[in-house]
Chain A
Amino acid sequence: AQKITQTQPGMFVQEKEAVTLDCTYDTSDPSYGLFWYKQPSSGEMIFLIYQGSYDQQNATEGRYSLNFQKARKSANLVISASQLGDSAMYFCAMSDRDSNYQLIWGAGTKLIIKP
């Protein structure tokens, strides 16, 4: 069974608009971590934001925030005031004891910001 699901293969968003990238996960472990990474066309995988399963508040890092809905097993990434440089692939990943703390990756969402 797929443990990380990203349902949006691609998205087009107008510059300066906010964008939400969806991610749902599946685990029976009460302790887990959720991660978002950005991969520009250059190839480097850039860590954006982390949310722990016991964290009471949604994680935020600058223009990135994570909409964590534990009961729905959803960890959507929100990018506010999108910029042209945000165009990239975005990957959601999870770490839990079942995976021996290795990252389980989603298929990714290709985000294109239109000027």
Chain B
Amino acid sequence: ETGVTQTPRHLVMGMTNKKSLKCEQHLGHNAMYWYKQSAKKPLELMFVYNFKEQTENNSVPSRFSPECPNSSHLFLHLHTLQPEDSALYLCASSQDQDSSTDTQYFGPGTRLTVL
């Protein structure tokens, strides 16, 4: 495996379900990110982890719960979602989050549909 992988690629869930999105990076990076991309909207940064510590939480509802057990893995736990949470969820990683030269590399995304 190379780069950034995400599973599942597609997910359909009901509003009462609990599911998790998984992201894994094989680039030796120290920072990992979750983004939400809704139709017709710019990318929204949700969470950032740097060296396993959460450094950003952009006012994300508590029904989204991130987990970063180590610098290679990032999870997004989902529960009691709303239909407006349907979107493409992108994971990214970068070397570290401390300079303007830091380049983020993205996974293929998980297309989430909440019924």
**Do these two chains really belong together in a complex?**
yes
Contact between B45 and A102, CB atoms less than 8 A apart: yes
Please tell me the number of chain A residues within 8 Å of chain B, measured between CB atoms: 27
Please tell me the number of chain B residues within 8 Å of chain A, measured between CB atoms: 22
Chain B residue at smallest Cβ distance from A53: B100
Contact between B106 and A45, CB atoms less than 8 A apart: yes
Inter-chain contacts of B56 with A (CB < 8 A)? 100, 102
Chain A residue at smallest Cβ distance from B31: A101
Contact between B100 and A32, CB atoms less than 8 A apart: yes
Contact between A91 and B43, CB atoms less than 8 A apart: yes
Chain B residue at smallest Cβ distance from A32: B100
Query: How far is A106 from B99 in the complex, measured between Cα atoms in Å?
Result: 20
B66 within 8 A of A: no
Contact between B42 and A52, CB atoms less than 8 A apart: no
Chain B residue at smallest Cβ distance from A94: B100
Q: B42: which of A33, A46, A50, A106 is its contact (CB, 8 Å)?
A: A106
Inter-chain contacts of A32 with B (CB < 8 A)? 100
List residues of chain B with CB under 8 Å of any chain A CB. Answer: 42-43, 45, 48, 56, 88, 90, 92, 97-109, 111
List residues of chain A with CB under 8 Å of any chain B CB. Answer: 29, 31-33, 35, 37, 42-47, 50, 52-53, 91, 95-97, 100-103, 105-108
